[in-house]
Amino acid sequence: MRKLLLSTAAAVVVGAPLVGATGAQAETLTLCWAAWDPANALVELSKDFTAQSGIDMKFEFIPWPNYTDRMQNELNSKGKLCDLVIGDSQWIGGAAENGHYVKLNDFFAKEGISMDSFLPATVYAYSTWPKGSDNYWALPAMGDALGWTYRKDWFARPELQAEFKGKYGRDLAPPKTWDELKQVAEFFQKREIDGKTVYGAAIFTERGSEGITMGVTNALYPYDFKYENPEKPYDMQGYVNSPDAVKGLEAYKAMYDCCTPPGYTNAYMQENLDAFTSGQVAMMMNWFAFFPGLYKNENVGGDKIGFFVNPEEIVKGSTLGGQGISVVAYSDKQDAALQYIKWFAQGDVQAKWWSLGGYSCAKSVLEAPGFADTAPFAADFLVAMGQVKDFWQEPAYAQLLLAMQERVHDYVVANKGTAKEALDLLVGDWTEIFEDEGKL
């Protein structure tokens, strides 16, 4: 359980107390998000907003496999289901350019909400379009990154420690590099523990939405993968398919081939959670958002579980998750929705958000003395958020994503071609998409 940080969190926003938006008659806002543990925490947190403002909250939570399609259809049709939406970072370009979100600059200025109060990586990824500009379309709401869990109790067994050290000359411990990650996974693969055959690692392989792309980039980023020439936007040749990027993709396939459970061809968040909580695997890749629930799990939590940041290789890097909260431009209740944004930005609210199981992006929470001791995964989360990279946030991100899903799944899972061929084909796909967009 996280320790409450209310005493150490300074206010992010200073302003007048919240007041009801409609006077005597209560108003109701609908907030749309994905259905997962942090959403339940937000329901609990939002009771304070209702108590202070008199504005009731409804929630529309959609299962992750359907969330993007459902919400993109809602926004593209200019629907009025959602007054507020917590949308993925990749949506920000299309939402801004297509007028789905309310631009928040004037509101932030009026209410004294400073983007300097949030971690720079979260502002850049969750709030801005064009990237790196001062145009804000969301408030950072849910920081997240890909990290790892491991069976701390298995790693600590003296006989396994001795065997591993005899083989590799180092202690059996959370891996620091992708080479070490593979060694540890191989060590556990098909090993018998407590009379049960276990496997090395659960990684993402899902093809239908975003799963394998999120997993593969968690290997590509440490191998210094770049989406484009830093000096020439959309110039991808030699960057997406660089020799180091090829090595990163090969490293991911090597993990898949050597060390995953049988039939692990279409796995994402839930499949990995199932594999870990059922005791099938020694290590698991997943979003930090799930770590509070895992720590509480009776079967694998508490003293049995450990956490580590995505291993480095050439550089440090982790795949960014997380979302910002935006006001939907088609809502008839924008004033009340903005009140919710103002309330959510406050330092004491951000501290309680963290304590309930949400992932605050506020510096007042994350940089508070003793933050690393507030949860077993808190220190790793802070490190991960300092080294995150994100997928394309272009309006055409869905096409870009589907192309990568196909190319890397064909190579990693279906065993088609080489890593170099897969990335060469991806460059071709992305070039065509950007040509159609008029950006090349």
Same domain, 139 and 159: no
Amino acid at 64: W
Using CB atoms within 10 A of its CB, is residue 438 exposed (0-12), middle (13-18) or buried (19+)?
exposed
This prediction's pTM:
0.93
CATH of the domain at 71: 3.40.190.10
Same domain, 215 and 339: no
Q: Report DSSP letters for 11-40, one per residue.
A: PS---SPP--SSTTS--EEEEEEESSHHHH
**Domain assignment of residue 187, yes or no:** yes
Same domain, 351 and 300: no
Query: H/E/C letters for each residue in 268-328?
Result: CHHHHHHHHHCCCEEEEEEEHHHHHHHHHCCCCCHHHEEEEECCECCCCCEEECCEEEEEE
**Domain assignment of residue 431, yes or no:** no
Same domain, 135 and 163: no
Identify the domain boundary among 294, 319, 344.
Answer: 319
**Domain assignment of residue 357, yes or no:** yes
Per-residue tens of pLDDT for the chain, all 440 residues: 443 333 333 333 333 345 444 443 579 999 999 999 999 999 999 999 999 999 999 999 999 989 999 999 999 999 999 999 999 999 999 999 999 999 999 999 999 999 999 999 999 999 999 998 999 999 999 999 999 999 999 999 999 999 999 999 999 999 999 999 999 999 999 999 999 999 999 999 999 999 999 999 999 999 999 999 999 999 999 999 999 999 999 999 999 999 999 999 999 999 999 999 999 999 999 999 999 999 999 999 999 999 999 999 999 999 999 999 999 999 999 999 999 999 999 999 999 999 999 999 999 999 999 999 999 999 999 999 999 999 999 999 999 999 999 999 999 999 999 999 999 999 999 999 999 999 99
**Domain assignment of residue 168, yes or no:** yes
- Domain assignment of residue 88, given as a range: 28-144+321-389
Same domain, 164 and 289: yes
Same domain, 161 and 183: yes
**Domain assignment of residue 174, yes or no:** yes
Same domain, 300 and 337: no
Specify the 3-state DSSP secondary structure of 177: strand
Identify the domain boundary among 351, 372, 389.
Answer: 389
**Domain assignment of residue 366, yes or no:** yes
Same domain, 137 and 214: no
Identify the domain boundary among 355, 374, 389.
Answer: 389
On whether the CB atoms of residues 161 and 171 are closer than 8 A, the answer is yes
Based on the structure, what is the number of domains in the chain?
2
Same domain, 137 and 162: no
Q: Which two tokens stand for residue 242?
A: 């660089």
